[in-house]
Amino acid sequence: FSITEIVPNFLYLGPEITSPEQLDILKSRSIRRILNMAEECDDDIPGLKESFVYCKIPARDTVEMKNVQDTLRTAVQVINTARRHYEPVYVHCKAGKSRSVAVILAYLVLSEKWTLKRAYQLIVKERPGASPNIGFVAELLKLE
CATH number for the domain that contains residue 127: 3.90.190.10
| DSSP 3-state of 133 | coil
Domain count, the chain: 1
pLDDT band at 42 (very low <50, low <70, confident <90, very high): confident
Q: What is the average pLDDT score of the chain?
A: 95
- 93 is annotated as an active-site residue: yes
Q: Considering the candidates 76, 79, 93, 101, report the single residue annotated as catalytic.
A: 93
Mean pLDDT of 97-121: 97
**φ, ψ at 52 (rounded to 5°):** -135, 155
Mean pLDDT of 56-81: 93
Tell me what pLDDT residue 144 has.
83
User: What distances in angstroms separate CA 119 from CA 1, 101, 110, one per listed residue?
Assistant: 23, 10, 11
Mean pLDDT of 28-41: 96
Nearest-5° Cα angle at 86, 117 to 82: 60
Q: Which domain holds residue 77?
A: 4-143
